Amino acid sequence: MASELHRKPAHELAAMIRRRELKPSDLIEHTIARIEATNPRLNAFVALRAEAAIDEARRLDERIAHREEVGPLAGLPLGVKDLEDAAGLPTTFGSVPFKNNIARADSVEVARLKAAGAIVIGKTNAPEFGYTGFTKNLLFGTTRNPWNLERTPGGSSGGSAAAIAGCVVPLATGSDGGGSIRIPACYTGCFGLKPSFGRIPNDAMLGMTRWDDTAVLGPLARTVRDAAMYLDVAMGYHAADPDSLPHPGISYQAVLDRLPKKLRIAFHPDFGHIVQREVSREVEKAVGAFRDMGHEVVVLEEKVPETGQAWMRIGAGQSLAMLHEYLDKHREQFGRSFASGTEAASRITWRHYGDAYRRRFEFNEWVRGVFERFDLLLTPTLPTEAFAAGGPPPREIDGKPLADLMAALVFTYPFNLSGHPAASVRAGFTDSGLPCGLQIVAERHRDDLVLQAAYAYEQARPWNDKWPEL
């Protein structure tokens, strides 16, 4: 049994611990051994707290032995993305000037996960300040996809996704400002949820309240139930984040199997952009599962408003506002493309912001029209399979050049602008043996419906029995 612990989903491990069939200390020791065995190849983890985690687990052993009440995540090893604080560990943001930035306290999300019994095992790699859709930085190097070590696990939550798909940890935190949970979930075949904006409280970053309302926190996991279990303990209002939402009054895990019958579902296959043929093939099969369940699926061919430039302009100003003093003092220590891209925000004017928000309005009106007619919207998560581990992103698909780099992410970032909940489930595999994803989107605050649809799909086309061998 011990040799297969790392392949079990989080909810099964949690149940074994509650039934006293598995000691938290045994699971943590197994996880540390798994990290030591896989990290030289994956580079998923960039900091560990092995001894402290074992000590926590042994204390939990004693509490469980004395039949004390423990939380729903009791004993589960947790990876924390290196853009988020976990007390006593460095929060480097994947950036050399912050290599010694030790967190004094946990983020709100990490504190809630720990209060539910999760044990932080270490920090997972991310591109510098989450800047790219692949995971590489000057401080820790390149993270690799467990399905093919020459390919990227995506970004910016690439270290977390590699750790999940590589069966290293059962749960890991992610964040998503333009696809940074769904992109790595897609490229590694795991489940990733971008909740509604405000569902999980955001903390200030580097002492600055964030005004950009596109980035959210959320889970990466091997099953939908695991993600629902995570969201149940992490969600709810917190005074540190004025935009955080009240608790919805339900357990997402408890309602997973209550997907309504005969839903009206829209499927847009391309948003007017190029999609890799093999990805289209697998996504169409995945969409077919919803027809087989008895839902009405309508293929949309209507034009979707372009929002790539708007998304970049809206986010760029916040990055420069937050980092300009550090760039002034330590510019040579930042990655060249990150530094130049961030400084380019100084050329964005209020007129540009106005244009960006008009594009945002146009997209929101389109989505509003979709959800007036349909209950769910399905799209590919990404138009390609995973590209080279060190980048750059693809500039062509099936021999056809892309209009711009944003076309490689065309299905994810629009829903950061609109704030709708969206998840990536495994659609299938390309001819190269690499996962590709189906994106499930619902109306704002209907995180329950996204999870229910993802869970029903997972039951119809299970994926948790197939993970890469390392």
Cite the active site residues. 81, 156, 180
Q: Radius of gyration over alpha carbons of the chain, in Å?
A: 21
> In this structure, are residues 49 and 120 in contact, taking their beta carbons and an 8 Å threshold?
yes
Residues 134 and 131: their CA atoms lie apart, in Å, by: 9
Strand pairing report for 171-176 and 77-81: parallel
What one-letter code names the amino acid at 358? R
Strand pairing report for 77-81 and 119-124: parallel
CA-wise closest residue to 284 among 269, 266, 273, 298 = 269
What one-letter code names the amino acid at 295? H
CA 446 to chain centre: 18
Q: What is the DSSP string of 175-225?
A: EESSSTTHHHHHHHT-EEEEPPTTSSPPPPBTTB----TT-EEEEEESSHH
Coil, helix or strand at residue 467: coil
Residues 380 and 269: their CA atoms lie apart, in Å, by: 7
Instruction: Verify cis geometry, omega within 30 degrees of 0, for the bond prior to 392.
Output: yes
Coil, helix or strand at residue 440: strand
Q: Which DSSP symbol is given to 367?
A: H
> In this structure, are residues 11 and 225 in contact, taking their beta carbons and an 8 Å threshold?
yes
Reading the block at residue 359, the tokens are 């594009």
Q: What is the DSSP string of 15-68?
A: HHHHTTSS-HHHHHHHHHHHHHHHHHHH--EEEE-HHHHHHHHHHHHHHHHTT-
